[in-house]
Amino acid sequence: MIRSYLDKLYIVIFLTILSFDLKSQTYIYDGVYVGGGFHFFNWTFDEVNYKNDNGNGLSLNVGKNLSPEMGFYIGLDDSEIYNENGKSYEATHFDIGVEVRFIEIYCKPSWPCSIAKPYFRTSRIRFRMVDSELFGKTEIKGSGVGMGLGTYLFLGYKTAINIGYTGGIIRVNEISGNDINTSSYHLAHSGRLKIGVTLFF
């Protein structure tokens, strides 16, 4: 199912890029930027037997540029995840972070790569997961650190396709449910592959 979604997204992005002038100049403004899109999610938390569970969902983010090379952002990712038994549950990431962009890359203006502006992100994560099937109902909360790489593919002066991956290490500090309750600390690992559109103002 995920492969099918990816194939469709690649086709849409390819056709969208072809509809614009790839030789047009790009510029990241010293203002606000807003983005939204779709993401694929994977995580592992051995303490409660979540092992490489996959899902997908929607992503939203808003940021403020300090310069064309750097900005602060907040993001919200809401995921529906499926386990090996076909049951689904929900997870939410809330990020506050910094984005550093590599504006000057070696690329001639006539080359297609001139539309690409790579970036590095690091963020503080707040995480929450709710599983109505596990022990009646289980809620997991934690916080951690995320790091990721991606690129903007500009379609014009103010519009770009955003493709990026963020890996996270989450320190779970609360597991609560009908038959389980603990405040001990455990580590979970997550990964989010995002694709969307960003508008710069």
Collapsing DSSP to helix, strand or coil, 79 comes out as strand
Q: How many CB atoms lie within 10 A of CB 143?
A: 14
pLDDT at 137: 74
φ, ψ (nearest 5 deg) of residue 21:
-85, 105
Average pLDDT over residues 11-40: 66
pLDDT per residue over 45-56, tens digit each?
Answer: 877 767 788 889
Q: Report which of 74, 44, 79, 42 is spatially closest to residue 60, judged by C-alpha positions.
A: 74
Domains and CATH numbers, the chain: 2-200 (2.40.160.20)
In sequence order, what E strands does 102-185 have? 116-131, 138-154, 159-177, 181-182
pLDDT per residue over 148-197, tens digit each?
Answer: 999 998 887 788 899 999 999 999 888 776 555 555 678 888 999 999 99
pLDDT per residue over 59-104, tens digit each?
Answer: 999 999 988 889 999 999 999 887 777 778 889 999 999 999 886 6
Structure tokens given for 67: 């310069």
